[in-house]
Every structure is written in structure tokens, then in C-alpha cells.
Structure 1
């Protein structure tokens, strides 16, 4: 090698990530002994010498992890960010958190800024319509980077993906509603054509078809407002729908409000199940049944996965799915 070896050369030689080499160079205790030895051997073979001035300029010693979230106003994503940040903090890392508000342009801006400031790794819950260039930028950065809860619509295949088993959750919730005697069951909320909507609907569709029942979807951007509007619309129909599986708890909470306004008793006249099991689901009246996604545990698991990648060069699987659990409450169980 005629030029001066770089940290990327060492990473390739040792078969680890750039961030792992950086941790070894910094004297971090995170990498395992065998990983550290492999990196040090590679440095010796290549004649690598650390450029301290360059390291300071690029912020390599900051111990920062980037966290890019599509909608921090949603309690589901807020809890994920808080649990991930807490786990990273316990390992000596600081999380730099950005809210993109479902804007792919803002996502590109904050991602570029985080990379410029030398984050050691990055976790992204991508916006809808994320550009392929966004994933390419993360790949070129040479740092551990994951997509979570949503998969990028384009170009994100090379980034490890972690989420929940939404299909199983949709099926369990639908079979629960059928078991209560419901037959006219709608799927309420979710943007039409989006992958996460399809995943949550797949279990619903399969369960309905298995029982010879007709499916019906009422799409829309998930919110309390949408749930209320759907509830008022359904309350005015004859024959009335007798159950609803909601894309999210926010839609479910809006439906509780709308049905109350229309004089329809949830849990008796109509049954409702939400998705995510945010804290408010168990505190409202009637309490909202929900497909529980352990988002706090998920955040901690993602942190542990990223730390293994950073410390030991252990890249996570291309796809990981965490289990879900149906939590029946008064809104569907009566």
C-alpha cells in the first residue's frame, strides 16, 4: 500500500466496521478482547498510525449515535426514542435525536448533518417516500446504520431492518373480534399502499377470508381526527358495522370519541381494537383493546444490537421481527 493506510483499510483488513476500529483506537472498553486483538493485528500489518488532528475535526471521539424519527408527536415513536436513548446512555453514548415530521427533505438534511458531525452509528425510522439516495449515503458513510419499524420504500435493502410481527398481530386481533360474534369488521386507518399498512392488514385479510367474511378498508393518515371521522360515518350507516380493527391506537382513541358523540356504546354496540398499546389505551374509557408492541423493550434491543455492531463488528440480520401480543379490554371484550 503506497498511500497512508486509513481507518477504513484497517476495518476491511480486520473484517469489522469502521466504528469498531475507531473504538479500539480510542481505547474504549466496548469491543471484546478477541475483536480488539484482531483490529490491533490489522493495524500492525498495515502500519496504521492514528491521525489525532483529523479525528478531532470529524468528531470521532464524541461517542454520538444519530436517531432519526419520522414523527415524535406520536407517543409510540416517542417511547421508542426514549428507551433507545436510555440504553445508549447507559453504555456511554449520547443520542442525537431529530424529528423529520414525515418530510423526506428534512430527513436528508438531518441525516447529512449527523454524518458530518461524526456520529458513530445511526438508527432511522424512515419517512414515507424516502429516497434511494438516503440509503446510499448511509452505506457510503461506513458506519453501523439500521432502519426500524418501517422499511425504506426505495434503496434500503442493504440496511438491516428491525420491526414487529404486524401480520400476526392483525390476524390475532381479527380472530378475537370474530370470536366475540362480530361479522362486519372494518380495518380503519393507514395510508393506502404503504408497506406498514399492508403488513397490519395482511393478518386481517387472511382471518376474514378464512371465515368467509367480506373485508373493508377505510384508509387515511392515522390520527385521532381520522378515527373520530370514521366513527361518525360508521354510526350513521345501516346496517351498522359491528367491529373495527384500527391501524393504530390513535385511530382507536379517535373512534371511541366519535362513537361516544354519536351515542354508540363501544364494547356493546360495536367493538374496537387498536394497534401498538400505548399507555393511553389502558387509561381511557372504555379501555381500548390493542395489539401490544413492547416498544420499550424493542428500543433497548435495538440499542443492544447497535452496540454489538459497534463494539464487536457483529452485523445484525437483514430482517428481525419482534413478537406482539393481543391485550383484550372493555372496548372489544364488553
Structure 2
């Protein structure tokens, strides 16, 4: 039996991308007439049959939502994705979840594939890239899209952005440490000059500068491994540092290990605060103080906002930030807390 032609066969025959073929099949007006003619010619020559029953999910009461996450290995993002997916499921929507692993090429590939499969909307925690080509393709396809937790496209009139008030969290953490008597406070983790790093560091920076105190930062992709390494380096080469605010709980948990290896008592010799308040923060020893972002509630609210947009046409605000709180535990208060 002859193999049934696929959308990839059509793309190859017409010498275009599969996303362009998908746009033609969806009758998008963003495709040039000449390109549309070439695609339709290839469809006729190959005998390709468009599965309109699958495509018809778009806009239907039980459509598909594309949920794209930059790093599902990180419990912070996993909790967000799980909460959003559960809310979509409660409202009768299926969710296609993809992990891009901080790779712009994978992100672009995943977006193209989900457009082809007819998602009703996108919720994206994006990886960073130098251009917005992937979001341009979403715009041409006319698919409602929210950026969450990270923003890479500044066109919030097209792609609304929702996140936490990271600046306020940094202020809370820094003032807490200063009130406990710390003065040589460092910020650890995050890739230098990345918007998310600058956001999470901004509150710390503002408070330290306003008090005339030195700002010390150690930048690197946030991970447990880096946290362990930098803790050992601080213990050896920067012993005057008496407190640390971390980019994320993963960095802070790694620092707990590194300081323990170096014989530094967290909560006594050095005070430590993480960011996110993942579940493990309350289970570690010493228990980790952290800026709680309530990611579970945020995931639910993000899903609700997207469903209001898709179902009722109520577009979310261009930019929205949700409150945070500081949860204090042994790592900043001391082992007897």
C-alpha cells in the first residue's frame, strides 16, 4: 500500500516550512498568494488530505492548550505547569506540555509543531533567544498567547506577561538580613544581564545601595551544583560575607551542602535565603528561608486568565505581577528557630 502523504511531504514539495503549510491549511491571510498557490499545487499533486477533524479542535469547548516550559527539571516550573494543567483539565481542556530545556531551537520547533496540531492557545515560560521569530509565527497564526514567569517579547499588547513581584521579594529578603545584623550580603546565581536575574536581584541592589553597603554578586546558571561550588569558594576566599540571597532555592540547597562540607554553619556563621520556596525548602536541614511565590496559585490564575481570553474574549492585562512573601526559617534565623 502506498504511504499516505504527510504535511512534511507537502512542505518538501512546495519548498516551504511545515508551519507555512499549516498556515495555508488554516486559511491564514498572512501567507503570500504565490506561496499559497505553491502549497495548494503540492497538496493536489501528492493527494494530501487535511485532517480537519483534528484541526477543528481550535475554538471548540474541549480544545488543546500548548504549555511550553523552559526547564521542567526545576521543581519551581514543574509545580507551575502541573497547577496550570490541572486547571485546564477542570475546565474541559487538554494540555500539550513541552520542555525546551533552555534551547531556543527546541522552543521554535515545539511552537511550530503545536501550531500544526491546532492548539487553541499558548502559555509559555520562554527560554531566552536573540530574536522573536518564534513569537512572530504565533502572531501570524493568530493564536492567543501569554508569557509567564519570563518575558522575551516586549509586545505585551500581543503577548501579555504575568509573573511574580520579584523586586519586592528581594527587598523583603535583604531587609530581613540587615535587621538580623548582617551587612556583608551577597547575591548568588543567575546568568549575568539576563532580565530574570536582574529582576530577582533588583530588590537586593536597591536596599544595599540605599544603605551605602557594598553590592557583591556571583553569576552563573542556577543549579545545585553551582550552589555547592560557590559556597565552598565563599568559605575559602570571601569569609567576610555573612549572608547570602540566592537566585533560586536550587542554588540555596546546593549552598547548604557546600557550606556543610567547608565547616560553615548556615544560620549561625552565615545566613542564607532562597527564592521560590519549593517544597524541599521546608524539609532541608537547616530549614531554608525563602521568598515564597506561591507558584501553585499562580499556575491556576494563569490558566484561568487564558481560559477567559479563549472562551469569553476577555484579554489579560498587558503586564501583571502577583505578590510574594518571605518565609523565615533556620537558615536565616538560626538553628534554634
TM-score tier, shorter chain, comes to: 0.7 to 0.9
Taking the TM superposition and a 5 Å limit, the aligned residue runs for 1:282-293 are: 282-293=282-293
Find the counterpart in structure 1 of residue 53 from structure 2. Answer: 56
Structure 1 residue 137: Cα displacement:
1.1
Structure 2 distance, partners of 1:155, 1:211, is: 36
Find the counterpart in structure 1 of residue 305 from structure 2. Answer: 305
Structure 1 residue 157: Cα displacement:
6.3
Structure 1 residue 238: Cα displacement:
5.3
Find the counterpart in structure 2 of residue 321 from structure 1. Answer: 321
Structure 2 distance, partners of 1:177, 1:163, is: 25
Structure 2 distance, partners of 1:186, 1:285, is: 21
4+ long deviations beyond 6 Å: 6-9, 154-157
Find the counterpart in structure 1 of residue 218 from structure 2. Answer: 218
Find the counterpart in structure 2 of residue 263 from structure 1. Answer: 263
Structure 1 residue 131: Cα displacement:
2.9
Find the counterpart in structure 2 of residue 120 from structure 1. Answer: 120
Deviates more, 1:224-233 or 1:145-154: 145-154
Find the counterpart in structure 2 of residue 67 from structure 1. Answer: 67
Structure 1 distance, partners of 2:189, 2:239, is: 21
Matching of residue 203 in structure 1 with residue 185 in structure 2? no
Structure 1 residue 156: Cα displacement:
6.5
Q: Give CA deviations for 1:95-130 in whole Å, capped at 9, x if unaligned.
A: 000000000000000111001100011100000116
Structure 1 residue 56: Cα displacement:
1.6
Q: Give CA deviations for 1:152-176 in whole Å, capped at 9, x if unaligned.
A: 1666663100000000101110110
Taking the TM superposition and a 5 Å limit, the aligned residue runs for 1:74-85 are: 74-85=74-85
What are structure 2's unaligned runs of at least 5 residues?
Answer: 1-25, 30-49
> How has the CA–CA distance of structure 1 residues 177 and 193 changed in structure 2, closer, same or farther, with 3 Å as cutoff?
same
2:314 aligned counterpart, secondary structure: coil
TM-score (normalised: structure 2): 0.81
Deviates more, 1:291-300 or 1:233-242: 233-242
2:275 aligned counterpart, secondary structure: strand
Structure 1 residue 240: Cα displacement:
2.4
Find the counterpart in structure 2 of residue 13 from structure 1. Answer: none
Taking the TM superposition and a 5 Å limit, the aligned residue runs for 1:272-287 are: 272-287=272-287
Structure 1 residue 210: Cα displacement:
1.6
Structure 1 distance, partners of 2:234, 2:150, is: 30
Find the counterpart in structure 1 of residue 295 from structure 2. Answer: 295
What are structure 1's unaligned runs of at least 5 residues?
Answer: 1-5, 10-52
Structure 1 distance, partners of 2:239, 2:94, is: 55
2:126 aligned counterpart, secondary structure: coil
Find the counterpart in structure 2 of residue 95 from structure 1. Answer: 95
TM-score (normalised: structure 1): 0.82
1:71 aligned counterpart, secondary structure: coil
Equivalent residues of 1:161, 1:320 under 8 A apart: yes
Equivalent residues of 2:289, 2:331 under 8 A apart: yes
Structure 2 distance, partners of 1:238, 1:115, is: 50
Matching of residue 138 in structure 1 with residue 142 in structure 2? no
Structure 2 distance, partners of 1:276, 1:292, is: 5
Q: Which has the higher contact order (CA 8 A, sep 6+)?
A: 1
Equivalent residues of 1:131, 1:155 under 8 A apart: no
Equivalent residues of 1:188, 1:245 under 8 A apart: yes
Structure 1 distance, partners of 2:296, 2:219, is: 28
